[in-house]
């Protein structure tokens, strides 16, 4: 990996920004260059929210991701907006519980689905669809290994809240194994 | 702290200010700099400092004047419309020859404008948003690390020259997270015998004032200040050069525009176009000499800015209009893509790819 540009998009409240933070933080723990840029303003109060993450072994130029190597789509408008704007050799992972599409893998992009929101409610992991889809995305993109993300997550989630860490890890694992 | 941490620009600069010895913050909320105030509200009481949300921006800047007059490090932060409100106070700080740090995390304007990133307060920051003959030290970070480093630098230069300094950021710098080293940095101390700290230790009294009804005296004051500005122009210009050794085209950009430009330069280099960048870190004092020198070799300049073309004036002045200067810009909160900058580079190269 020299540079991986990631765009995570969905509704405000789905944990889009936190997913991005987990990726950026994982990069930090591996001594990579990283940048994390959120959308801010009215959209984070209920509308669409997205976040650009770049992980690189070199210094990062623009932190704005317009042609992602990895697109994580968590709602229909985000998928429709960005699915045709990914880079060559890119990966799209989308929440099939919330998004319906005819869009298929082609020469340029590999598309993966995971019903993250349904898996979250089926497994008593309310609000953790973001971690489920993140697990799947990390696995399919190979941007990090499973252990790298888990180790970072352990450092990121406060040790004062072990039950929170446990649930996040469980959700990530669910995504990895899907 | 010797380990890198992941922090938002707004929070990193707030932490840096505290580490630089600032114990007095006065602010008023506005997007996209609200995290500065939120961080200060949480942190200042823990370090024995003062966080005060004033009833208005005008009030906040006047509180800064009060603390600065005592020789203590004071700061305020806002975004574009709020800086307009603070401009009267900034002029008074300059007139009173007081050091202070003002942070502007710019958003699109004019008027209430929008909340997305912008660089359209370049004129306001470098040409004087308030009235009178004065300058500010203006520092333009292009990474979260520089938000920290230039906060230290801002307090330092403000005290060195007894003038207000401004950290001129944009929404992306404030909102983005990057790994950052919160190094303590060296805190220099300067003579503050001018400070109004009571008459306990000396005869007479110190007066901090910008009023003189005697024009002969006021002229002397203005010259005295400009003598110091001249020293700053000689000694404290900061800039970064990127691939300028063999460059035939020179991009001039600061803040987020310089980050986007870097991508475009790399794309252009891959096509064999010899392009480089001079990135002003101090917008005032502006890096005139290095630009003038570059104009001897370069055939064209491109000013890349998030406004309708403001810094471009200073580029033209610096190179004495000896070469064409093109403008590559977006405004209103929009950010140019690397492809748009690349198109400008190709145009400046005479259309040759």
Q: How far is B263 from chain A (nearest CA, A)?
A: 6
Question: B252 forms bridges with which residues in the sheet?
Answer: B278, B303
Quick check: A45 pLDDT over 80?
A: no
* Overall average pLDDT of the B33-40 stretch: 96
Minimum CA–CA partner of A25 in chain B: B6
CB B124 within 8 A of CB B134: no
Quick check: A42 pLDDT over 70?
A: no
Q: How far is B29 from chain A (nearest CA, A)?
A: 14
Q: Which residues of B touch A28 (CB under 8 A)?
A: 4-6, 179
B330 touches chain A (CB under 8 A): no
Question: B302 forms bridges with which residues in the sheet?
Answer: B251, B326
Between chains, do A64 and B6 touch, taking CB under 8 Å as contact?
A: no
Q: Do domains B5-198+208-235 and B240-348 have the same CATH topology?
A: yes
Between chains, do B335 and A61 touch, taking CB under 8 Å as contact?
A: no
Domain boundaries, chain B: 5-198+208-235, 240-348
Residue B149, both tokens = 């480093």
Please give the torsion angle defined by the CA atoms of residues B326, B332, B337 and B343, in that order, rounded to the nearest 10 degrees: -30
Give the Cα-Cα-Cα angle B289, B293, B295 (nearest 5 degrees).
Answer: 120
Residue B247, both tokens = 């460059």
Query: Is-cis flag, bond preceding B262, omega within 30?
Result: no
When the pLDDT of each residue in chain B is averaged and rounded to a whole number, the result is 96
- Decide: residue A66, CB within 10 A, 0-12 exposed, 13-18 middle, 19+ buried: middle
Reported confidence tier of residue B199, pLDDT bands at 50, 70, 90: confident
B147 touches chain A (CB under 8 A): no
CATH of the domain at A162: 3.40.920.10
- What is the phi/psi pair of residue B161, to 5°? -105, 5
* B129 Cβ contact list (under 8 Å, min separation 6): B83, B84, B87, B90, B91, B121
Size of interface A-B (CB pairs under 8 A): 59
* Overall average pLDDT of the B152-173 stretch: 97
* Higher-scoring residue by pLDDT: B269, B204: B269
Residue A168, both tokens = 């996040």
200-239 of B, contacting A, C-beta below 8 A? none
* Overall average pLDDT of the B192-196 stretch: 93
d(CA B301, CA B277): 9
B177 touches chain A (CB under 8 A): yes
Reported confidence tier of residue B48, pLDDT bands at 50, 70, 90: very high
Q: For residue B276, what is the DSSP state?
A: E
Sign of CA dihedral B327, B331, B333, B338: negative
CB B77 within 8 A of CB B105: yes
CB B165 within 8 A of CB B100: yes
**Overall domain count for chain A:** 1
* A94 Cβ contact list (under 8 Å, min separation 6): A72, A73, A74, A79, A101, A111, A112, A113, A114, A133
Predicted confidence at residue B184, as pLDDT, reads 67
> ipTM, 2 decimals?
0.93
Quick check: A1 pLDDT over 70?
A: no
Q: Which residues of B touch A67 (CB under 8 A)?
A: none
Q: How far is A61 from chain B (nearest CA, A)?
A: 5
CA end-to-end span of chain B, whole Å?
47
Q: How far is B193 from chain A (nearest CA, A)?
A: 44
Reported confidence tier of residue B38, pLDDT bands at 50, 70, 90: very high
Question: A176 forms bridges with which residues in the sheet?
Answer: none
Residue B277, both tokens = 């960048």
Query: How does pLDDT run across A134-168, given as a tens digit for each residue?
Result: 999 999 999 999 999 999 999 998 777 888 999 99
d(CA A95, CA A175): 11
Minimum CA–CA partner of B144 in chain A: A35
Find the CB nearest A25 among B6, B176, B262: B6
* Overall average pLDDT of the B223-241 stretch: 98
**Does domain B5-198+208-235 fall into CATH 2.130.10.30?**
no
Between chains, do A24 and B6 touch, taking CB under 8 Å as contact?
A: yes
B266 touches chain A (CB under 8 A): yes
Find the CB nearest A35 among B171, B176, B263: B176
Which residue, chain included where needed, has tokens 């114990």?
B23
Query: How does pLDDT run across B288-334, given as a tens digit for each residue?
Result: 999 999 999 999 999 999 999 999 999 999 999 999 999 999 999 99
What topology is assigned to B240-348 in CATH? Rossmann fold (3.40.50)
Query: How does pLDDT run across B117-159, given as a tens digit for each residue?
Result: 999 999 999 998 999 999 999 999 999 999 999 999 999 999 9
* A71 Cβ contact list (under 8 Å, min separation 6): A6, A7, A9, A82, A83, A86, A90, A91, A92, A93
Q: Which residues of B touch A41 (CB under 8 A)?
A: 31-32, 115-116
Reported confidence tier of residue B71, pLDDT bands at 50, 70, 90: very high
Optimal mutation site among B4, B29, B38, B177, interface A, most CBs of chain A within 10 A: B177
DSSP-based three-state secondary structure for B268: helix
When the pLDDT of each residue in chain A is averaged and rounded to a whole number, the result is 93
Between chains, do A62 and B262 touch, taking CB under 8 Å as contact?
A: yes
Helix axes B255-270, B338-348, angle to 10 degrees: 60
Q: Which residues of A touch B5 (CB under 8 A)?
A: 28
* Overall average pLDDT of the B245-269 stretch: 97
Domain limits at A18? 3-177
Quick check: B1 pLDDT over 50?
A: no
Query: How does pLDDT run across A86-113, given as a tens digit for each residue?
Result: 999 999 999 999 999 999 999 999 999 9
Interface of chain A toward chain B, CB-CB under 8 angstroms: 21, 24-25, 28, 33-38, 40-41, 60-64, 66
Quick check: B43 pLDDT over 60?
A: yes
61-80 of B, contacting A, C-beta below 8 A? none
Reported confidence tier of residue A43, pLDDT bands at 50, 70, 90: low
Which residue, chain included where needed, has tokens 């998004």?
A99
């Amino acid at each position: 990996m020299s540079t991986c540009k990631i765009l995570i998009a969905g509704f405000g409240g789905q944990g889009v920004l936190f997913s991005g933070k987990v990726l950026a933080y994982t990069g930090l723990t591996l001594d990579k260059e990283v940048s994390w840029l959120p959308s801010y303003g009215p959209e984070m109060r209920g509308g669409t929210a997205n976040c650009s993450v770049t992980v690189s072994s070199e210094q990062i130029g623009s932190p704005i991701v317009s042609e992602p190597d990895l697109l994580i789509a968590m709602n229909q408008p985000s998928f429709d907006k960005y699915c045709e704007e990914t880079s060559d050799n890119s990966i799209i992972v989308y929440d099939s519980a919330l998004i319906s599409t005819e869009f298929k893998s082609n020469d340029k992009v590999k598309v993966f689905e995971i019903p993250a929101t349904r898996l979250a409610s089926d497994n008593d992991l309310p609000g953790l669809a973001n971690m489920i889809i993140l697990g799947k995305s990390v696995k399919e993109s190979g941007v990090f290994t499973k252990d790298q993300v888990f180790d970072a997550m352990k450092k990121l989630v406060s040790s004062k809240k072990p039950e929170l860490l446990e649930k996040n890890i469980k959700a990530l694992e669910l995504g990895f194994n899907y | 702290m010797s380990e890198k941490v992941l922090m938002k620009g707004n929070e990193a600069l707030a932490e840096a200010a505290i580490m630089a010895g600032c114990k007095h913050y006065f602010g008023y909320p506005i997007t996209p700099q609200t995290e500065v105030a939120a961080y200060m509200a949480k942190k200042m009481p823990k370090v024995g400092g003062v966080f005060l949300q004033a009833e208005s921006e005008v009030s906040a800047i006047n509180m800064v004047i009060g603390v600065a007059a005592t020789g203590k490090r004071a700061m305020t932060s806002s975004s574009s419309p709020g800086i307009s409100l603070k401009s009267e106070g900034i002029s008074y700080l300059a007139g009173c020859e007081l050091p202070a740090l003002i942070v502007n995390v710019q958003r699109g304007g004019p008027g209430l404008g929008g909340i997305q990133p912008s660089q359209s307060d370049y004129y306001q920051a470098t040409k004087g948003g308030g009235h009178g003959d004065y300058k500010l030290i203006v520092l333009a970070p292009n990474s979260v690390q520089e938000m920290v480093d230039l906060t230290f630098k801002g307090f330092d230069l403000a005290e060195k020259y007894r003038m207000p300094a401004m950290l001129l950021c944009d929404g992306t710098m404030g909102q983005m997270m990057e790994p950052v080293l919160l190094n303590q940095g060296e805190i220099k101390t300067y003579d503050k015998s001018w400070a109004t700290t009571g008459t306990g230790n000396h005869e007479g009294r110190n007066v901090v004032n910008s009023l003189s009804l005697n024009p002969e005296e006021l002229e002397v004051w203005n010259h005295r200040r400009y003598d110091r500005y001249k020293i700053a122009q000689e000694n404290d210009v900061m800039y970064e050069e990127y691939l300028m050794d063999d460059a035939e085209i020179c991009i001039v950009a600061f803040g987020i525009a310089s980050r986007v430009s870097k991508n475009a330069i790399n794309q252009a280099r891959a096509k064999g176009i010899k392009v480089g960048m001079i990135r002003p870190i101090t917008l005032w004092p502006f890096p005139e000499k290095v630009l003038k020198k570059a104009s001897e070799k370069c055939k064209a300049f491109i000013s890349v800015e998030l406004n309708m073309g403001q810094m471009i004036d200073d580029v033209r002045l610096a190179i004495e209009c000896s070469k064409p200067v093109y403008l590559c810009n977006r405004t209103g909160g929009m950010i140019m893509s690397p492809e748009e900058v690349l198109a400008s580079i190709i145009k400046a190269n005479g259309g040759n790819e």
